Chains A and B, each alone.
Chain A
Amino acid sequence: MLKDIFHKKKQRYATLTSQDVAERLGRTRTAPDVSVPEGLMSKCKRCGEMTFTKELEKNLKICPKCEYHFPLTAAERLTMTFDEGRYFEYDAGMTAVDPLEFPDYQEKIKREQTKSGVNEAVVTAEGTIGGYPVIIGAMDSTYFMGSMGSVVGEKITRAIEMAQSKKYPFIIFTASGGARMQEGIFSLMQMAKTSAALARFSDAGGLYIAVNTYPTTGGVTASFSMLGDLNIAEPGALIGFAGRRIIEQTIRQKLPDDFQTAEFLLKHGMLDMVVNRKAMRQSLATILELHGGGFRGE
């Protein structure tokens, strides 16, 4: 509810521990987690602010102090984006296999599933935004870093095809560390596959909106995340192709502080706009309205 967004939180201070202070000053990274009951409070990754998890959730998981956008699960994203939080999920049962017989991959899949409670790194679903029917793919970085293997590529490709056949627009929320290493060359090919689906979708007149959220890197940045008719990002989102460390090692120089942030990309002409999560739903609804629902008329 809108009221809740502006809900004042009660404790504004007295939550800083010495470790927090030290960490903020950049003196140490070894500080143990503060001893609060697990799940009750959440700590902002950027400013260190402790917020009651319930309040944070009411605030769409945006730090009330510094506006840091906490990563969302796919379910959280879809619930907050679709009208009344209602949607119909596609291909919910699709799961990864191990085409390379890669060491430890199958065990890792099980561990990631247990840890995150989801079975793959993207959820594709149909619903409405502002009354306009739309198909959304929401990636989930809590599962396997949101990495793209065959399942992610296939689900997104099918969602795009579905959008094309229903003449609905397609929206993706990216959150991915890039290609899934354990599926090797198959992961790489998902970049070509999803892009090929988008080529047809675009030719058919479909509106495609790519919303880049934290983090969007590697093979996802080099495919569908940058191919929107509109490329949007959440504030502060990390978006880049090569990893920061790899670049630093290659060029042996320090990178600017805002390097590979949404704001950096906006400045360099790679994004149409940066939209705060609180305004995202309304912005998407407006875009859909401006496109007459999101599919070019015959």
Chain B
Amino acid sequence: MEVASVANDLQFEQPLLELKKKIEELRKFSEQSGLDFTDEIRKLEEKAQGLANNIYGELSAWQRTQIARHADRPTTLDYIRGMCSDFLELHGDRAFGDDMAIVGGIAKLGNMPVTVIGHQKGHDTKENIARRWGMPQPEGYRKALRLMKQAEKFGRPVVCFIDTPGAYPGIASEERGIGEAIARNLIEMAALRTPIVCVITGEGGSGGALALGVGDRVYMLENTVYGVISPEAGAALLWKDASQGQRAAEAFKITASHVYKFGLIDGIIEEPKGGAHKDQAATIAAVKEQVLAALHELLEIPADVLIEQRYQKYKKMGHYAE
């Protein structure tokens, strides 16, 4: 357990983690030896607090990217199971197959039946291979769309969890029309006659993320990113150097606070200090609260008004001169 947690720690957290280890050692030594180190321990703890504030208070875009990709972050299934009851996972696109990179189904949120859909990353390598690290093929998006249309028919709101590096780049994806599959979701979501609430829970990777991300309310967790391209790929494309991901993460302005300032999302959901993985339960509770609040608001709005407002919201996005 100890080993695993060290392996999953992020580099910029190291000074804090070392200090915490030192405090722990001192405490143990104090217990074993019977010597009183209360003052020293208190001082070190104050120092650790200050250090934590320093490290987590001013996270760079690149650091947040790393937190957004953290292997211990809650995944879509964690959110669904943590927020909802009676989750019924539904499979398949009815045309080709069942893409495990996207999961979906029906569940109860509060007392309300909802359709839940999201990118699904694995908790270990084996699961990640089966789920292609949350990178869907066309049938994943088509399954998502099938579930959305089903929700529309039965008047259920749709909740989408977004966490993908992007759609899967492969022969099969292109053969079966990954572009068309994403595009189809965009056009259908724009006009879906039921409320859609989206939460970016990790990586919001380009079109592969947007294909579950057209909604009446879109939120980002505090340490997530949303961009047109991953920082590494962007750096490779623009500066012919994939190792400049850090520079690209800053330049592309992909953090929740930037995207919110741009007016492209509706709110930011706070994470526990250090990131969602430090306290999964608290993160999931915060997401649940925000989604419920949004749904209560949206369910009051007649469908025609809802999709008109949705259209006007997207219509405004963009800056140009004339």
Q: Does A pair with B?
A: yes
Q: Does B160 contact A (CB under 8 A)?
A: no
> How far is B167's CA from A243's CA once the two chains are assembled, in angstroms?
12
Report if A99 contacts B (CB, 8 A): yes
Q: B264: shortest Cβ distance to chain A, in Å?
A: 6
Q: Give the complex CA separation of A157 and B320 in angstroms.
A: 13
Q: Quick one: which of A97, A103, A179, A241 contacts B228, CB cutoff 8 A?
A: A179
B322 touches A93 (CB 8 A): yes
Q: Which of B120-128, B181-189, B278-286 touches A?
A: B181-189
Known A-B contacts A100-B252, A181-B237, A251-B170; A241 and B311 likewise in contact (beta carbons under 8 Å): no
Q: For chain A residues 182-210, which have a beta carbon within 8 Å of chain B?
A: 183-193, 195-200, 202-203
Of residues 175 to 211 in B, which have CB atoms within 8 Å of A's CB atoms?
175-180, 182-184, 186-188, 190-191, 206-207, 210-211
B190→A186 contact, CB < 8 A: no
B317 within 8 A of A: yes
- Which of chain B's residues has its CB closest to A231's CB? B180
Query: How many Å lie between the Cα of A17 and that of B217 in the bound state?
Result: 61
User: Which residue of A226, A255, A269 contacts B183 across the interface (Cβ within 8 Å)?
Assistant: A226
Q: How many A residues touch B, CB cutoff 8 Å? A: 64
Q: Does A185 contact B253, Cβ atoms closer than 8 Å?
A: yes
Tell me if B's interface is mostly helix, strand, loop or mixed. helix
Given A96-B320, A189-B317: A242 and B171 interface contact (C-beta under 8 Å): no
Within 8 A of A (CB), among B228-255: 228-229, 233-234, 237-238, 251-254
Contact indicator B191/A200 (Cβ below 8 Å): yes
* Cα separation A256 to B175 with both chains bound (whole Å): 11
- A-side contacts of B259, CB under 8 Å: 185
**Quick one: which of A91, A184, A219 contacts B253, CB cutoff 8 A?**
A184
B321 touches A270 (CB 8 A): no
Q: Which residues of B contact A157 (CB under 8 A)?
A: 315
Contact-residue size bin, chain B (C-beta under 8 Å from the other chain): 35 or more
Check if B169 is an interface residue, CB within 8 A of chain A: yes
Q: Is the CB of A260 within 8 A of B174?
A: yes
Give the contact stretch, choosing among A21-29, A148-156, A279-287: A148-156
Given A150-B320, A192-B314, A225:B179 Cβ within 8 A? yes
- Docked complex Cα distance between A198 and B187 (Å): 7
The CA-CA distance from A150 to B319 in the complex, in Å, is 6
Query: Are A190 and B317 also in contact (CB < 8 A) when A184-B228, A184-B253 are?
Result: yes
Chain B residue nearest in CB terms to A194 = B186
A97 and B319 form a contact (CB under 8 A): yes
**Which residues on the B side are within 8 Å of A184 (C-beta)?**
227-228, 252-254
Contact present for B174 and A259 (CB under 8 Å): yes
Cα distance, A246 to B208, chains bound together (Å): 15
User: A221-B179, A240-B179, A268-B175 known; A200 and B318 CB under 8 Å?
Assistant: no
Which A residues, 83 to 125, have Cβ-Cβ distances below 8 Å to chain B?
91, 93-97, 99-100, 102-103
Binding site for B on A (CB under 8 A): 91, 93-97, 99-100, 102-103, 149-151, 153-154, 157, 179, 181, 183-193, 195-200, 202-203, 218-219, 221-227, 239-243, 246-247, 250-251, 253, 255-256, 259-260, 265, 268-270
Q: 8 A-B Cβ contacts within 8 A? A: A157-B315, A183-B319, A188-B227, A190-B318, A191-B186, A199-B187, A202-B187, A222-B167
